[in-house]
Amino acid sequence: MSEENGNARTRTVSWEDPKALAGAARGLTGLEFLKKVAAGELPRPPISALMNFGLAEIEEGRAVFTVEPAEYHYNPIGVVHGGLAATLLDSAMGCAVHSVLPAGAGYTTLEIKVNFVRALTAETGAVRCEARVIHVGGRTATAEGKVLDAAGKLYAHATTTCIIFRN
């Protein structure tokens, strides 16, 4: 319908082969791998390209992602879809966990609990998602994250449990 009235917008997204990126992780610790992604030595994952967020900081047990909410993130009620914050939190918390894993180990999210505090909009400006590991055990790890604007105002916070796959 919007194409008929001339209001259609377009956005082009490009990404590299995700299997090649996953292969590049072999032989590297989680922190080594993520430092290469953050430095641009390895391509960012397709989800990062699609939603236009990136890994800004990485250190052992901590990850920071950034995104600038935009119109293409909007839901039908005129604010940024909660999935942007949830995906940002899942990515940051997962990378915080990944950063403490040895070479050959992997992880995936078992559960995530997100609390939305206030709506993001294009007018919010750039936001940071700061995540840190709370606990790492033999089979699971937990982490927490927050989505904050430049002034430190909280937009969402979350916790996650990840399962760890060790060799």
Contacts of 86 (CB under 8 A, 6+ apart): 112, 114, 156, 158
Alpha carbons 6 and 141: distance in angstroms, whole number:
49
Cβ distance 116 to 155 under 8 Å? yes
Alpha carbons 107 and 84: distance in angstroms, whole number:
21
Q: Which comes out higher in pLDDT, residue 77 or 7?
A: 77
pLDDT in tens, 125-134: 999 999 999 9
Percent of the chain at pLDDT exceeding 70? 98
Residue 67 has pLDDT above 60, yes or no: yes
């940024």: which residue's tokens?
A: 80
For residue 113, the model assigns a pLDDT of 99
CATH superfamily of the 18-165 domain? Hotdog Thioesterase (3.10.129.10)
Cβ distance 51 to 13 under 8 Å? no
The alpha carbon torsion through 14, 20, 24, 29 (nearest 10 deg) reads 80
Percent of the chain at pLDDT exceeding 90? 95
For residue 118, the model assigns a pLDDT of 98
The phi and psi torsions of 4 (rounded to 5 degrees) equal -70, -35
> What is the pLDDT of the chain when averaged over all its residues?
96
Alpha carbons 21 and 33: distance in angstroms, whole number:
10
pLDDT band at 2; cut points 50, 70, 90 = low
